[in-house]
Amino acid sequence: MLKEEMSCGNRSRARVCDTCRAAASTVYCRAHISYLCAGCDARIHAANQVVWRHERVWVCEACERAPAAITCKADAASLCTSCDADIHSANPLARRHHRVRILPITGCLVGPPATHLGEPVGPEPGRFMTHGAADEEIEEDETGSWFLLNSVKNKNQSNGFLFGGEVDEYLDLVEYNSCTENQFHDQQQQHYSVDQQETIDGTGSDSVVPVQCLEVEVKEQQLFKHQQHEMEYQPSKAGFCYTASISHSVSMSSMDAGVVPDSTMSDISNSHPRPPKGSIDLFSSPIPPQFTPMDREARVLRYREKRKTRKFEKTIRYASRKAYAETRPRIKGRFAKRTDIEVEVDQMFSTTVMVESVYGIVPSF
DNA sequence: ATCGAATTCCTTACCACATCGGTAG
DNA sequence: CGCTACCGATGTGGTAAGGAATTCG
């Protein structure tokens, strides 16, 4: 029932995963000619080296029903050709948005991608979840204390969970969890690799799927479906339910990347399988969660992964504003008024763009 | 060990204006 | 209920200025 509500209610618009038929698809695999949710994508494409290199593209963030063809830097969104045409023909300003052909992604999508854009952002896109021994030692204390803290709080809080400073961290964990929980646990060390080089030069493209691989995939899918079913509601284990509907873990990635496309933000609220304040359900559970050793280990692992991806640098909330700020004239670093000439040139440029766009030329500045 | 000068590092304010988001008609 | 117009608030980046921290004689 729960699953049906998710798919039929919240995400009736989005194309459902061709594999699990439950969650909203987030990527389109060219080799498989199928739409996959994040969980199924990770499951299927982590099976072996061959499928690992399958080229995939994000599903259009606007219609959520077609493979994205371009990436709009101003909107920080991946769009299909149809939505691109609709959105960027709306006004002259929109026509000036810098758009680039989307690059296919390969590898195992464990957790959110660094950016929904087709380009890597600094060292982030790799998000290699490698564990250095030294790091692990350093983290051990903090991790332990954090978890101990939670445990203490768990006991102290009448509602069964922590509030205050740790809430955020935990909520993040839950969010992260919702994105990655469906990955296979034995793939936790797996990389999240957006190997663009490989795909660009074509060596990574691979449309041939060996039979053996397919067999593996079928087994994986069956196993995954089984796990999914088990995961739907397990009050005795964790005190709250997971669902398989991952619904655009992509969106969260955008936030991690420091760019928050508005469309995806709304996406989260609209499509999230849990209630808008999913944590409320979690916290309002009358029964404090009892962590088994395995639960604890899993949570510690998730906490570590989350810690690795923590970012303290400035977060760009509006990519379009950033784009304009970068093109704005300055005097000693301060924004300066545009001269009349500059305004005229700008207007001329925009009209030129309008004319060009009639002929289907994608403007860029 | 203490002091002052020099150097390095870090934080913050400033600017213009497109965009956002709320409100009214 | 949906659309449009209006308007104040917001956020954006590069630089300079100022203060804190560090180094050196």
Would you say residue A24 has pLDDT above 60? yes
**C1’ B4 / CA A330, Å:** 39
Radius of gyration (C-alpha) of chain A in whole angstroms: 22
The Å distance, CA of A294 to C1' of B24, is 58
The mean per-residue pLDDT over the stretch A331-360 comes to 62
Does A124 reside within a domain? no
How confident is the model at residue A75, as a pLDDT? 61
Report the alpha-carbon distance of residue A79 to residue A86 in Å, rounded.
10
Q: Is residue A116 part of a domain?
A: no
Whether A17 has a pLDDT exceeding 60, the answer reads: yes
Last residue of a domain, one of A84, A101, A118: A101
What is the number of domains present in chain A?
2
Mean pLDDT lowest among A63-67, A207-211, A252-256, A331-335: A207-211
What mean pLDDT comes out for the span A316-326?
Answer: 84
Whole-number pLDDT of residue A328 = 85
Which nucleotide, over all strands, has the C1' atom closest to the CA of A265? B20
Question: What is the CA A96 to C1' C14 distance in angstroms?
Answer: 24
Average pLDDT over residues A121-148: 40
Alpha helices, DSSP H only, in A186-248? 196-200, 211-231
**Residue where one domain finishes, among candidates A101, A136, A158:** A101
Report angle CA A229, A235, A239 to the nearest 5 degrees. Answer: 125
What average pLDDT does chain A have?
A: 52
Query: What pLDDT, in 10s, does the model give residues A289-315?
Result: 456 777 777 777 776 776 666 655 567
Contact A28, A105 (CB under 8 A): no
Residue A168 maps to a domain: no
Kindly state whether residue A77 falls inside one of the protein's structural domains.
yes
Which nucleotides in chain B lie closer than 7 A to a protein CB?
Answer: 13-21
Q: What is the C-alpha separation between A40 and A352, in angstroms, rounded?
A: 45
Q: Please report the pLDDT score of residue A257 as a whole number.
A: 36
Most confident of A21-35, A260-274, A315-329: A315-329
A78: in domain? yes
pLDDT tens sequence across A255-272: 333 333 333 333 333 333
Residue A88: domain span: 27-101
HSE on the CB side for A200, CA within 13 Å? 9
A93 CA vs B25 C1’ separation (Å): 27
* pLDDT over 70 (residue A72): no
**Interatomic CA–C1' length for residue A313 and nucleotide B4, angstroms:** 37
Closest CA relative to residue A58, chosen from A49, A70, A48: A70
- Residue A302, pLDDT score: 76
pLDDT of A42 > 60? The answer is yes
Q: Which of A363 and A33 is assigned the larger pLDDT?
A: A33
Q: Residue ranges of the alpha helices (H) in chain A? A: 2-5, 38-45, 49-52, 81-88, 92-95, 133-156, 165-180, 196-200, 211-231, 249-256, 262-271, 278-283, 293-308, 319-327, 340-358
The yes-or-no verdict on residue A115 having pLDDT over 60 is no
Kindly state the tokens that stand for A195: 């190997």
Both tokens of A77, joined, read 């969104």
Question: pLDDT over 90 for what percent of chain A?
Answer: 0
How many whole angstroms separate alpha carbon A306 and alpha carbon A309?
Answer: 5
Q: Which of A170-179, A194-203, A290-299 has the lowest mean pLDDT?
A: A194-203
Q: Return the sign of the alpha-carbon dihedral for residues A182, A24, A193, A56.
A: positive
Rounded CA–C1' distance between A126 and B9, in angstroms: 30
What's the confidence (pLDDT) of residue A348? 60
| Residue A229 neighbours by CB under 8 Å, 6+ apart | none
Per-residue buried b or exposed e for A250-261, using 16+ beta carbons within 10 Å of the residue's own CB: bbbbbbbbbbbb
Confidence of residue A132 (pLDDT cuts 50, 70, 90): very low
Nearest nucleotide to the CA of A334, by C1', is B15
| pLDDT higher than threshold 80 for residue A65 | no
Among A75-89, A139-153, A289-303, the range scoring the smallest mean pLDDT is A139-153
Residues whose C-beta lies under 7 Å from strand B: A 93, 262, 318, 320-321, 324-325, 328, 330, 333-338
On the question of pLDDT at A182 being above 70, the answer is no
pLDDT band at A364 (very low <50, low <70, confident <90, very high): very low
Mean pLDDT of A43-63: 74
pLDDT for position A307: 64
Q: What is the pLDDT of residue A294?
A: 76
Residue range A231-240, pLDDT digits in tens: 333 333 333 3
| pLDDT value at residue A200 | 29
Q: Taking all atoms of strand C, which protein residues have CB closer than 7 Å? A: A 314-318, 321-322, 324-326, 330, 332-335
**Which of A101, A129, A160 is at the close of a domain?**
A101
Average pLDDT for A144-169: 38
Question: Distance (Å) from CA A263 to C1' B8?
Answer: 44
Q: Which of chain C's bases lie under 7 Å from a protein CB?
A: 10-16
- The pLDDT of residue A173 is above 50: no
How far apart CA A9 and CA A169 sit, in angstroms, is: 29
Most confidently modeled range among A53-62, A197-206, A344-353: A53-62
Task: Measure the CA–CA gap between A261 and A267, rounded to whole angstroms.
Answer: 10
